[in-house]
A = this chain, B = another copy of it.
Amino acid sequence: MTAQRRVVAEVLDGEHVHLTADEVHARAVAKLPEISRATVYNTLGELVSLGEVLEVSTDRRAKRYDPNAHQPHHHLVCARCGAIKDVHPMGNPMADLPDSERFGFTVSDVEVTYRGICPNCTAA
């Protein structure tokens, strides 16, 4: 556990957000000025392998890193400004895929992304 890794972990800890690697880097630099982008990428990659942080790809821009890894959830994304909310749809989407639609796959995961316009963007 180096100072660099601690800082990256701190940036993500507790905050219920979805930051890009560059945003994590910017916040890390505020605490440890000389931390490099490469180290931020390395550390984020390790946290993802450890299951402490999730990668979220709601658009084709930068990946976002989600520290809310222990409570399963899905995402609601504003198509205009990119704002992201954690959501918990009812039911179990996995159970909604009949065997006849599984083509022999061993299905292990399902990811649901809702899209729409957020209140801010609706007002503007």
Name the interface size band of chain A.
35 or more
Is A63 in contact with chain B by the CB < 8 A criterion?
yes
List, in ascending order, chain B residues with CB within 8 A of A122's CB.
104, 106
Q: A34 within 8 Å of B by Cβ? A: no
Contact with B along A97-111 (1 / 0, CB 8 A): 110011111111111
Q: Is the interface of A mostly helix, strand, loop or mixed?
A: mixed
A117 touches B108 (CB 8 A): yes
Which residues of chain B come closer than 8 Å to A102, judged between CB atoms? 76, 87, 116
**Is the beta-carbon distance between A112 and B115 smaller than 8 angstroms?**
no
With contact pairs A93-B89, A93-B93, A97-B87 given, residues A115 and B104 touching in the complex (Cβ less than 8 Å): no
Please list 16 pairs of residues, one from A and one from B, whose beta carbons are closer than 8 Å in the complex, sorted by A's number: A57-B60, A76-B105, A78-B105, A85-B103, A87-B102, A89-B96, A90-B97, A90-B98, A93-B93, A94-B114, A97-B114, A102-B116, A104-B118, A104-B119, A105-B114, A105-B119
